[in-house]
Structures are given as C-alpha cells and as structure tokens.
C-alpha cells in the first residue's frame, strides 16, 4: 500500500516499543546469546478480514534487524481458521522481541476491518456508505481508520481540525443552529479556508433550519426510521445525509434503505474484537 504514512506508523511503533520492550527483552536475551535463524508462521484461528500486513512489512523492513517477512495474502482478503497468513524468517531474538507488538498491530487492525466489513455487507445494494468516528484508541487513530478502509468503510474527519461538525453542545452554547453555522462560515471567510460544514440535528425543525442556513451535510442523530424517511424527503437531495445513533448490525439495513448517504458507526473502532491470530515457530 504505497500511500502508507511512514512517519505516523513509526510514531505508533516507537510508542509500542517503549512501553513493551523499554530496556530490553530479558527473557529472550537470557536464553539466546547469539544469532539463531528460525522461521515463524502467522496462523489464522477465526474467520475475518486480514488487515495490517502492509504495516507489518513496513515495520519489518525498516525497524527489525536480520528479519524478513513474506505475506501470503493482501490486506482486505477473507481469511479462515487454519490459513497461514505470512511467515517471518531470521534472528530468533528479533522475532521473539517484537512478536507481541506485531501481533497487536495485526490483530487489532484485522478486528476493526472484520467488524467494518460486516456493516458494509449489510448495506449492500443501497447507496449508503459506512463511516467511522473519532471513537478510536488514543494514539492509534491513523491505524484504526486505515483498517476501516481496508474493511470497506470510509473515513469521517480525522480530527477536530479538518471539518466543521456542529453538535448539540455547540448549538446550545452558541445560541442556536443559525448562529453556529454563520460563525463557521465566518471562520472560513476570515481564514480563507474551505472546510465543509456538517451540523447535527435532533428533529425535523432543526433539520429545516440547517438546510435553510446552507450546510454541506446534516447528521440525523437518533432519528426513528419514520423520521429518517421524512427527513430524506424534506432534504430532497439538497445536502448530504448522515445517520448516527442507534446503529447496529440489526438496524443498519433498514436505515440504509431509507436513502441516506452515510451511516456513522462508532462500534467499528470502539468495540471491535481483536481477530485471533497466532505466531508459531516452525523451524
């Protein structure tokens, strides 16, 4: 994946090394005094979508000494119990020292991609796209959002700095939807920026006001199915429509069939279960 952000991955990897290895792997150092060549295979133990292989390759090539990694799959492929995902060859000391860090990266990213893909499959046949949120592991947002894309989802804003998202607390504290929207437009004008403006609405009255003010997208927060249908009719293609709240694998298909553009799902990052993958020394 040529568009990997090397510096972000380096930063995350170095933090992992600092907290896990710090002064050194004393067990491995005590047992293995000298170089010893081994082969260790990554084994899949449950169904899922593999993600993070390109990240593992980048880390191995740039930060591990005397170790090579070869993967048998590409990111985004379905894997099943018993599948051999990839193999490490090289110095036993390096492989054992970094084993848990590399598995953490691979298991976490694959878990996020797998859960994302389940939601994506549920909305197949509709125009709805699955979006992530900012509900990510602190420090891990880049990799969480990368895993979402590998699973077939799309990224919402990366942070507070790349898009206006006016939520209920902004509206209450600023004096209303119109005031908040106008202040964001004023910011764009003063700073000569062109950040998109999205506003969260709680009901059809707020929705109508947001449309009249002129925004790029509205977020329907915890709307019922009937209210979503009414909102889509009212919007009539004037702005993009995103639904948030009350979204799970049982409800998402019905939401998507209402004709919305996006459905944001916090669960794909804050509740993703790590995929069961192990590293086994073969020879």
- Asked if 217 is an active-site residue, the reply is no
What are the backbone angles phi and psi of residue 160, rounded to the nearest 5°?
A: -80, 0
Q: Of 127, 167, 233, 238, which residue is the catalytic one?
A: 167
- Closest by CA to 281, choosing from 41, 81, 33, 27, is 41
| Annotated catalytic residue, options 135, 178, 229, 253 | 135
Q: Is 200 a catalytic residue?
A: yes
- Active-site hit among 91, 221, 242, 261: 221
CA-CA-CA-CA torsion sign (172, 178, 184, 186): negative
Overall residue count recorded for the chain in this entry: 283
In the residue annotation, 135 being an active-site residue is answered as yes
- DSSP 8-state symbol, 70: E
Distances (CA, A) of 276 to 16, 48, 183: 20, 9, 48
Residue whose pair of structure tokens reads 């919007």 in the numeric block: 235
167 catalytic residue (yes or no): yes
Q: Given the residues 45, 57, 100, 134, select the one marked as catalytic.
A: 100
Which of 200, 206, 242, 261 is catalytic? The answer is 200
Q: Which residues are catalytic?
A: 100, 135, 167, 200, 221
């Amino acid at each position: 994946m040529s568009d990997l952000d090397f510096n972000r991955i380096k930063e995350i990897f170095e933090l992992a090394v600092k907290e896990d290895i710090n002064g050194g792997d004393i067990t491995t150092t005590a047992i293995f005094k000298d170089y010893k060549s081994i082969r260790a295979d990554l084994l899949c133990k449950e169904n899922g979508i593999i993600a993070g292989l390109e990240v593992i390759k980048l880390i191995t090539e740039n930060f591990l000494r005397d170790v090579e990694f070869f993967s048998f799959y590409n990111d985004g492929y379905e894997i099943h119990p018993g599948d051999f995902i990839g193999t490490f060859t090289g110095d036993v000391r390096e492989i054992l020292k970094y084993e848990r860090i590399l598995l953490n990266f691979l298991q976490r990213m694959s878990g996020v991609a797998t859960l994302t893909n389940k939601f994506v499959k549920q909305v197949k046949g509709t125009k709805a796209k699955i979006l992530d949120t900012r509900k990510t592991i602190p420090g891990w947002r880049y990799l969480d959002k990368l895993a979402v894309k590998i699973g077939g989802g799309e990224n919402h804003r990366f942070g507070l700095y790349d898009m206006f998202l006016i939520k209920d607390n902004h509206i209450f504290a600023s004096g209303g939807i119109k005031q908040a929207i106008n202040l964001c437009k004023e910011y764009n004008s003063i700073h000569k920026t062109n950040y998109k403006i999205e506003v969260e609405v709680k009901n059809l009255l707020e929705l109508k006001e947001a449309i009249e003010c002129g925004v790029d997208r509205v977020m329907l927060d915890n709307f019922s199915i009937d209210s979503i249908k009414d909102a889509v009719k009212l919007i009539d293609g004037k702005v993009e429509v995103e639904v948030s709240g009350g979204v799970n694998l049982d409800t998402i298909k019905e939401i998507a069939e209402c004709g919305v553009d996006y459905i944001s799902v916090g669960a794909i990052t804050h509740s993703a279960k790590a995929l069961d993958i192990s590293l086994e020394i073969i020879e």
